Structure 1
Amino acid sequence: MKQNVLSKHEPSLSPRIAFYSHDTMGLGHIRRNMLLAQSVLQACPNAEILLLSGVRESGAFKLPKGADTVTMPSYFKTAEGKYIPSSLGNNIERLVEVRRQIIYGTLDLFEPDIVVIDNVPRGAMNELDTVLPVLASRGAQIVLGLRDIIDEPEAVREQWKKLKNLEIIRLYFNSIWVYGDPHLFNLAKEYQFDDDICEKLQYVGYLDQTRRMEVQGLDTVISSSVETPYALCVVGGGQDGFQLAKTFMQAELPTGWNGLLITGALMPEAQRKQIHDMVETRPEVHVVDFVAEPLKLMQEAECIISMGGYNTVTEILSFNESALIVPRVTPRKEQWIRASRLAEMGIVDCLHPDSLTPEALSSWMSGNKKQLNAREVLRFNGLDNVVTQVQSILSKRANS
């Protein structure tokens, strides 16, 4: 019979923390959790941190000592918002069960003191339903981590009601951390959360990407091929970034500029090949498929054109870069809400994808981009506040 090494009455000298991300589109969820893990380990170097994700590229990211990953076979989210296997056959029910058992077995044996679940309370396809009651019964502190904006309010209220997310939060979750600032988007108010849910919720602030652990040095192919000044185009994981990437390849750069396009590891192969074929007529534009840590490239860019995912946008804001955001508008409006509100505040420029043309990008790159420093109006102390929350939880458990 299996014996529990750790019970809620026996706090470990090496606290264990698990971060879960469902990762059905792009790399934002796992990268957010990796940044949080890095910050926690800097403050609590004796901690053991396990990241569970559905991103095979997670092995390419540099992790600090004390952190490791479990990578599950991945889902693919269609344009209609439906989940299908990314590459493991076409039986979604089997894939859900495979992932469910991996998650259950891992967390059952790891026995975390704290579990931080990114974005979806029940996990993708409700794959956390079996493990949540077990974790709660052992006294694990279960936290829901939310980006600043989930989707437009009506869609969130409808989806959360359908998925019974609020009931799950009431049953098993101790806290909700919102990685944002209500000055941009008051999540609790916009989504009309009940008082008991709001009592668990706190806005920790945006996550300062300048503190992200960088891979030492710059990729030699990139650094030797791209001279400043250059315009950088990034499309997140690339799963739905083809149109922006293609339009950037067709846009006219300012005189004397170079271009750099990162297609993203998840761009479909046929689309990626089409982009690479365009390089023959655009020798001043360099194309790479994947950069594990693009921060140095972002810092050195003259300007950035990107989609509107949370991580990419907060990287742009953290470094006060001149940016044009061309957000995705389906299946969620999250990116559009974020980009348009930031544009209204004068922090970035925003272009609706229906208005995306090579001429629009050319005009923006050659224009005079006067944009406000985001740090003057938004809080970027999220990492410090998360660390404080983690230390408080661990201290209470050690003294209980």
Structure 2
Amino acid sequence: MNIGRTPGERAVNGRVALYGHDTMGLGHLRRNLALSAALRAAGAREALVLTGAREVGRFPLPPGVDVLVLPGIAKRDDGTYRSRRLTAPVDDVVALRRDVLRSALTAFAPDLMVVDKVARGFRGELEPALRALRDRGTRLVLGLRDVLDAPAAATAEWRRLRTTEALREHYDEVWVYGDRRVSDLAADCAVPPSVRRLLTYTGFLAAGRPTADVPPPEGPFTLCLLGGGQDGAALAQAFARAPRPTGTTPVLVTGPHLPSTVADTLRAAHPGLCVVDFCEDPAAWARRAAAVVCMGGYNTVAELLATDVPVLVVPRVAPRAEQLVRARRLSERGAVDDLHPADLTPALLGAWLSEAARRPRTPRTGIDLDGMTRVGRLARAHLEEARRAG
């Protein structure tokens, strides 16, 4: 993993903290780990990633990066929340997380903090820490996916969470991890002009992500990626039953949250199916695959955009329409194909795999995929500002 600085670039020598509430899947965690590498490469001395995902131990950490794991919270299929492992009510777990976050961040004293998606933290758990960091001069940035939900729902959530007020009170900038020509978050969320000036569209966090030496499966293969896997059973079953392009092996990466009973049943019923629960660098496998089928989470899609492999996105449609909106907009630009899960059948999936496996490989152009580089430059400016202010 190469996270070295550009030759001749001096270290800024600042500390960075990255927070993700991590209530569903591994997207927030994977994004923050990738960002931590980019920020270290931009000159930060060290980074601390704060996460509720215990699966962080399965990923390699860049030099100078460490992790603080918070008590976990999980999102149910209906959009409500529960404690992931403790028996305490979720409000008690949030109170515990709030105290841990304030103590840890006050002690770590970052020069820059990047908050993922929720400006006040899950149920406001970051509020005390944000006030303390602002008082000490920490630069605060909110990082947002390209799409939060369908526009009406995104606007409603923006207002319900009092995001505008949080931005005015705490934040120096908002990084939108997408291409405004594909998705305009300011329009989708009806962001008021008073804070729209804070928004910077970085491009997708696609090119330049850290890579891992993960040997791909042997021989020609097709690939199915379920992200965290929590709600990927239907796609996994359709992929397992789909007719296979001649001479290829179907490889299913379930993610650690797919119920083990589903994975065991698939292994027993489909002996020719290769089932693995985790791959630390799915993009490395995707580059070698004949075709890829995936769900529509931000990180999975962003990584695949940086390849030339044909991709079919079968998005989650509830409780949020985020994945559906992303898949449709990228499909309209010809970057991916998309299929509504209501239309998913093994036969249709097999037909797509057979056709896609014969396509010529074509790099994706016309979409800004350089978010990692741009984030590094933006972070460096914040760290230098923090040093001058200090």
TM-score (norm 2): 0.93
SS at 2:235's partner residue?
helix
One of 231, 245, 259 as aligned partner of 1:254: 245
Question: What residue in structure 1 maps to residue 371 of structure 2?
Answer: 382
Task: Output the CA distance in 2 between the equivalents of 1:253 and 1:47.
Answer: 49
Q: Select 1:266's aligned residue among 239, 257, 274.
A: 257
Q: 1:160 aligns with which of 158, 161, 164?
A: 158
Match of 2:213 in 1: 216
In structure 2, the residue matched to 1:194 is 192
Change (3 A) 1:94 1:303: same
Superposed displacement of residue 176, structure 1? 0.2
After the TM superposition, which of the residue ranges 328-337 and 364-373 deviates more from structure 2? 364-373
Match of 1:82 among 80, 83, 94: 80
Bigger shift: residues 86-95 or 236-245: 86-95
Once the two structures are TM-superposed, the CA of residue 335 in structure 1 deviates from its matched residue by: 0.3
Deviation at 1:293, TM superposition (A): 2.2
Equivalent residues of 1:348, 1:371 under 8 A apart? no
CA offset at residue 140 of structure 1?
A: 0.8
Please report how far the alpha carbon of residue 190 of structure 1 lies from its aligned counterpart in structure 2 after TM superposition: 2.3
| Structure 2 counterpart of 1:93 | 91
Question: Which string of whole-angstrom CA distances, capped at 9 and with x for unpartnered residues, describes residues 336-366 of structure 1?
Answer: 0010111111111100000111111111111
After superposition, the C-alpha distances for 1:9-31 in whole angstroms (9 at most, x for unaligned) are xxx97311000011111111111
> Counterparts of 1:386 and 1:377 in 2: how far apart (Å)?
20
Partner of 2:204: helix, strand, or coil?
Answer: coil
Corresponding residue for 2:318? 330
1:109-120 counterparts in 2 under 5 A? 109-120=107-118
CA distance in 2, matches of 1:324, 1:29: 22
SS, match of residue 376 in structure 1: coil
Shift of 1:212: 2.5
Contact preservation (8 Å) 1:121, 1:168: yes
What is the RMSD of the two structures over their aligned residues, measured on CA atoms? Answer: 1.8
Structure 1 unaligned regions, length at least 5: 1-11
1:111-190 to 2 correspondences below 5 Å: 111-190=109-188
Amino acid at match of 2:38: S
User: CA separation of 1:371/1:148 partners in 2, compared to 1, >3 Å: closer, same or farther?
Assistant: farther
For 1:302 and 1:79, the matched residues in 2 are separated by 32
Partner of 1:294: 282
Number of paired residues? 378
Q: Secondary structure at the match of 1:308?
A: coil
In 2, the alpha carbon distance for the partners of 1:350 and 1:208 equals: 19
Partner of 2:34: 35
Greater shift in the superposed pair: 168-177 or 383-392:
383-392
Q: Aligned partner of 1:232: which letter?
A: L
Deviations 1:23-66 (A, max 9, x none): 1111111111111111121231x511000011101111111111
Question: What is the match of residue 56 of structure 1?
Answer: 54
Q: How big is each residue's C-alpha offset from its partner over 1:213-267, in whole Å with a ceiling of 9 and x where there is no partner?
A: 233342xxxx5xx432111001100011111111111111112110100111112
Write out per-residue CA displacement over residues 161-217 of structure 1, whole angstroms, 9 at most, x where no aligned residue. Answer: 1221211111001100001001101111222211121110110111124x2323334
2:235 to 220, 236, 244: 244
Aligned AA for 2:302?
Answer: T
Percent identity of the aligned residues?
A: 38
CA-to-aligned-CA distance 1:117-163 (integer Å, 9 cap, x gap): 00110111221122111111111111000111111111112112122
Distance between the aligned counterparts of 2:188 and 2:40, measured in 1?
Answer: 34
- Which range is displaced more, 367-376 or 127-136? 367-376
Q: CA deviation at 1:274?
A: 2.9
- How far the C-alpha of 1:279 sits from its partner, in A, is 2.2
Tell me if 1:392 matches 2:381: yes
Distance verdict in 2 for CA 1:227–1:282, change over 3 Å: farther
SS class of match (2:91): helix
Q: Deviations over 1:338-397 (max 9, x none)?
A: 101111111111000001111111111112575995642111121111111111122223
**Among 92, 103, 106, which residue is 2:104 paired with?**
106
Distance 1:380 1:189 in 2: 21
Q: Which ranges in structure 2 are unaligned for 5 or more consecutive residues? A: 1-10
- Provide the C-alpha distance between the structure 2 equivalents of 1:295 and 1:340, rounded to a whole number of angstroms: 21
Matched position secondary structure for 2:218: coil
Q: Secondary structure at the match of 1:14?
A: coil
CA 1:266–1:216 in structure 2 vs 1: closer, same or farther (change >3 Å)? same
| Structure-2 separation of matches of 1:398 and 1:61 | 31
- Which residue number in structure 1 is paired with residue 15 of structure 2? 16
Q: Is the 8 A contact 1:325 1:349 kept in 2?
A: yes
> Secondary structure in 1 aligned to 2:127?
coil
Corresponding residue for 2:8? none
1:228–1:301: 8 Å Cα contact kept in structure 2? no
